[in-house]
Structure 1
């Protein structure tokens, strides 16, 4: 009898957790957020003796299940959502920029609606490293305020998001400011072995090009394409000032690949430089490996910049949204330009310095990067502790 009791105590507790976010759309940044959350929950669960069983709300449940090996239900089928939440021990909302109305008026009502549904069903809700805003429709403040006040744990990915929630009426002392979850995402080899950045160096070196590799992550933003034209002029200036390999990294397919192809067509004579588009596939860790093999990265996509910081790749950002400025600010950096203004000569000189002074860049920013990677695990630690 005593032996049976000991065996039972050794078994981990099982907790089912529904995860809500912008998942299944095959956007590398958002998929990286999901993979980072799943990885952190599994690691923290193992440390605390809890087996977390995620159920992901996805626009493509079959693909999500195949990609991550987790249960998944359709994010737009209410009956499936209700059954998943009712059978769970809680709901995680995040990460990413879920609570903003720049992409449309339906976004905030959808995500707050899912959180509210879980609360009505008596389940604890957890906000995982979200970026809040912009919120231009003031009537949406009450939707956000209502679910945040009733959540068991609230974390946001930058101080500006915390301040915005505070202005909406969410008590500031209930909000943790943490890094984006992707700062804690390991390379695939690290995920299997538990290794660190030092272990990643041979893998990165294995893919090095004879020419310095400059990763490029662009997206459509301005309807007239003037921002991409400016980026093309800047990249052309860089390529003609020194021999480089411009490796375009499409984070959201097919739109980013189309934007990259258009920019390549505008570069003109590159001299000894070359331009190409990477095809890493859907796995976020495959894109993380691509970024790790770059000598520098020029990013418009937020998660391209986060991937670079994760792998200590010197980076330079182009701002199209406050979230870009906010992330760069955490690293002590400023964008090289915006979608409205980008000086080609200043850009070429700045990237040149990153390539020539990469060791100095890593020394200057290594401390804050290490801290952000460690702090990225805090939400998972807190959630597992509260749900066990």
Structure 2
């Protein structure tokens, strides 16, 4: 049959642990007969980390060269098609998908979380792209409902990071147990007052539970300064873990009893590794995950003003809450592999 080449496009090489985990999951699931070429914001780093061919995502000349050599094009997972943070993001990704479709490549919208789409133009562009795809998979019911309204055939399955392999983190088991992981990120609704309340609650929580606090920045540019601020105030054992390897990032949660997280993929990784999870939601995708997994938590705007109330809620959940059952986790992992089935069906069986 011979090797085929697929362009893989996503928010890669930008230092975001969740998006890197999506890329690692896609490469893990990609059929062996397919050679990936990854569009990246940091091509050298991506090439070294994953051992794949890469291309600078901002170089129009190099990207067009890649299209001339490719048989297929893949939107590689996550919230690529949304205009809440920027109108340029859906324009960029839709433009590449449109180009791939015009050139007759097989096109796959893979493991997508669609929206919010607040602007008529970006909504129209998204609809045109999804309707032109050879195959589509989404990771949540909201995206599925939108595609159903657009009459686009799709498969819906849990986020592929559920099925990502995990590896141990050197030094983690040297830290005292039990351990609790915290993943916060900057956001307009995470005001200085709310962050101060969360920090005071975490101090009280640690004093009551005698836990080791692991502060885990998923994207240094947005998370590290918050982690450092909290670390400077914690009274007992703590550690900041900056991990570049997605498999290690997931593996960190093997040694954790409970996770308090804003980051969508931190909650998935933690839940997949048998952790109790408490969510702090800043985005509809986190709301959706909370509803689907029945996770306790608050939207940022609903966090109590009283740090003692926050701490008491966390302490109670630490003492009495339960992680997902092993059967639930295995079901999510098995169903996440439906994203792999889509790749096989389109890139191999239909060839």
Q: Any idea what SS the aligned residue of 1:207 has? A: helix
Q: Which moved more, 1:367-376 or 1:291-300?
A: 367-376
Distance 1:266 1:339, change over 3 A: farther
What is aligned with 1:9? none
- The CA RMSD measured in Å over matched residues stands at 2.2
Summarize the alignment of residues 4-153 of structure 1 with structure 2, pairs less than 5 Å apart: 13-41=2-30, 45=31, 50-153=32-135
Segments of 5+ residues of structure 2 without an aligned counterpart are: none
What is aligned with 1:171? 151
| Separation of aligned partners in 2, 1:334 and 1:142 | 35
Q: Any idea what SS the aligned residue of 1:188 has? A: coil
- 1:55 Cα offset (Å): 0.5
Choose 1 or 2 for highest CA Rg. Answer: 1
What is aligned with 2:197? 230
Q: Is the 8 A contact 1:219 1:256 kept in 2?
A: yes
- 1:36 Cα offset (Å): 0.6
Q: Deviations over 1:51-92 (max 9, x none)?
A: 121000001111111010000101111221122122111111
Q: Which moved more, 1:257-266 or 1:83-92?
A: 257-266
| Separation of aligned partners in 2, 1:136 and 1:186 | 35
Segments of 5+ residues of structure 1 without an aligned counterpart are: 1-11, 190-202
- 1:349 Cα offset (Å): 3.7
| Separation of aligned partners in 1, 2:301 and 2:238 | 22
- 1:211 Cα offset (Å): 3.5
| Separation of aligned partners in 2, 1:123 and 1:59 | 23
Summarize the alignment of residues 146-295 of structure 1 with structure 2, pairs less than 5 Å apart: 146-167=128-149, 170-171=150-151, 174-188=153-167, 207=173, 209-222=175-188, 224-267=191-234, 270=235, 273-280=236-243, 282-295=244-257
Distance 1:227 1:206, change over 3 A: closer
What is aligned with 2:294? 332
- Equivalent of residue 270 in structure 2, options 293, 308, 311: 308
| Separation of aligned partners in 1, 2:317 and 2:208 | 14
Runs (4 or more) in structure 1 with deviation over 4 Å come to: 203-206
Q: Is the 8 A contact 1:16 1:90 kept in 2?
A: yes
